[in-house]
């Protein structure tokens, strides 16, 4: 068995397992011997900055909000690319300006689509 090329891997695996489990076991033994558990209602309550928590923690959000995230992305990407474009504007040729115009038009197309779909009206 020791001649197997995977023997050292098996040894390492056992050591790694022990490394993880030994502290857990020691903590369990320590708790059993010395430290008694004293749970109570206040201690087990949901933690919420000292105030008593109200309602359910499992609040659901409308999945339709993803549209706002996407529209935000339009302006986000636009701002990132427009700033260096504006800085270097005086040194740019006609080709650069046209390609930038195409880029902005593509983004505006997305916005126009969202507008036409009525996403921008708050329901």
Size of the site for another protein (CB under 8 A): 15
Residue 49, interface with another protein (CB under 8 A)?
A: yes
Residue 56, interface with another protein (CB under 8 A)?
A: no
Would you list the DSSP string of 65-118? GHHHHHHHHHHHHHHHHHHHHHHTGGG--HHHHHHHHHHHHHHHHHHHHHHHHT
Nearer to another protein, 4 or 44 (CB): 44
Q: How far is the CB of 31 from another protein (least distance, A)?
A: 11
Residue 54, interface with another protein (CB under 8 A)?
A: no
Distance, CA of 21 to CA of 14 (rounded, Å) = 10
Subset of 14-43 contacting another protein (CB under 8 A)? 33-36, 38-40, 42-43
């Amino acid at each position: 068995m020791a001649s197997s090329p995977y023997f050292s891997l098996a040894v390492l695996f056992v050591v790694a397992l022990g490394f993880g489990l030994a502290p857990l076991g020691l903590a369990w033994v320590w708790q059993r011997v010395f430290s008694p558990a004293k749970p109570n209602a206040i201690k087990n309550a949901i933690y919420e900055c000292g105030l008593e928590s109200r309602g359910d923690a499992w609040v659901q959000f409308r999945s339709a909000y993803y549209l706002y995230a996407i529209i935000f992305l339009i302006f986000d990407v636009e701002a990132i690319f427009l700033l260096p474009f504006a800085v270097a504007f005086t040194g740019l040729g006609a080709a650069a300006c046209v390609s930038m115009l195409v880029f902005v038009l593509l983004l505006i197309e997305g916005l126009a689509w969202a507008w036409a779909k009525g996403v921008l009206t708050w329901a």
